[in-house]
Chain A
Amino acid sequence: AQKITQTQPGMFVQEKEAVTLDCTYDTSDPSYGLFWYKQPSSGEMIFLIYQGSYDQQNATEGRYSLNFQKARKSANLVISASQLGDSAMYFCAMSLKRGNYQLIWGAGTKLIIKP
């Protein structure tokens, strides 16, 4: 069964430190995509980064990078030099070919950055 697992319900990190948010996935489909979204307390869903199952290199977007380990089926999000504004819920999601590539979501990790 297709599934996304985020094992860290909450994390506290000191400002300016790097943080890794864990995500593991399970699918037998050879073609899939992995996404990270940020949800601040205001509720909107903000796209952060994407990794395709066939991509050879790890994705990076500014302070965000994705540590993609295909054999382990993990797609951890790394935020470098964390900022107070990074405090939010973070969701890992996987796109699967059912209809139009619906997204399957993890339970999320609540990240709190301490000053």
Chain B
Amino acid sequence: EPEVTQTPSHQVTQMGQEVILRCVPISNHLYFYWYRQILGQKVEFLVSFYNNEISEKSEIFDDQFSVERPDGSNFTLKIRSTKLEDSAMYFCASSADGASSSEQYFGPGTRLTVT
């Protein structure tokens, strides 16, 4: 069964460093998402992406964040200068279409720890 993959599974970085989280969505999906979940808290939407551009972004997704689809398979989230409060689990998701009924398939997540 096709699945979303994410690398690395765990990343430790120092405050102020740049990190790139990588995702490979399901191959025929067209819509891509990043969510984050701070430990013990609810999942929060960060950004959605379609047709090589951002469709929607939340207040969390400030200028420190960027997303890119550098080739036909990868979808990346970059945090330019990490802060302690960026420590969280980051989930990538993809869906076949943009309908409200469309299931978003989640990757296993990347646990980011900023020290």
In the complex the two chains form, is B33's CB within 8 Å of A91's CB? Answer: no
In the complex the two chains form, is A102's CB within 8 Å of B100's CB? Answer: no
Q: Are A45 and B42 CB-contacts (below 8 A) given A97-B100, A99-B55, A101-B99?
A: no
Q: Does B65 belong to the interface (CB within 8 Å)?
A: no
Tally of B interface residues using CB under 8 Å: 33
- A34 to chain B: closest residue by CB: B100
Chain B, residues 67-104, CB within 8 Å of chain A (1/0): the string is 00000000000000000000001010101001111111
Q: Are A44 and B108 CB-contacts (below 8 A) given A50-B103, A95-B100?
A: yes
Q: Are A103 and B50 CB-contacts (below 8 A) given A33-B101, A43-B109?
A: no
In the complex the two chains form, is B98's CB within 8 Å of A104's CB? Answer: no
In the complex the two chains form, is A91's CB within 8 Å of B43's CB? Answer: yes
Picked from A43, A52, A91, A103, the residue with its CB within 8 Å of the CB of B45 is A103
List, in ascending order, chain A residues with CB within 8 A of B43's CB.
45, 91, 93, 103, 105
Q: Cα distance A97–B99 when bound, in Å?
A: 8
Interface residues of A in 31-46 (CB under 8 A from B): 31-33, 35, 37, 43-46
Q: Are A44 and B45 CB-contacts (below 8 A) given A33-B101, A52-B101, A100-B31?
A: no
List, in ascending order, chain B residues with CB within 8 A of A102's CB.
33, 45, 48, 56, 58
In the complex the two chains form, is A47's CB within 8 Å of B105's CB? Answer: yes
Q: Cα distance A96–B99 when bound, in Å?
A: 9
Query: Taking the nearest CB of chain B, how far is it from the CB of A26, in angstroms?
Result: 15
In the complex the two chains form, is A100's CB within 8 Å of B91's CB? Answer: no
* Residue of B56, B91, B98, B101 ringed by the most chain A CB atoms within 10 A: B101
**Beyond A101-B95, A103-B45, A104-B45: 7 further Cβ-contacts under 8 Å?**
A35-B104, A47-B104, A50-B103, A52-B101, A100-B50, A101-B98, A102-B33
Q: Which residues of B contact A (CB under 8 A)?
A: 31, 33, 35, 41-45, 48-50, 54-58, 89, 91, 93, 95, 98-109, 111
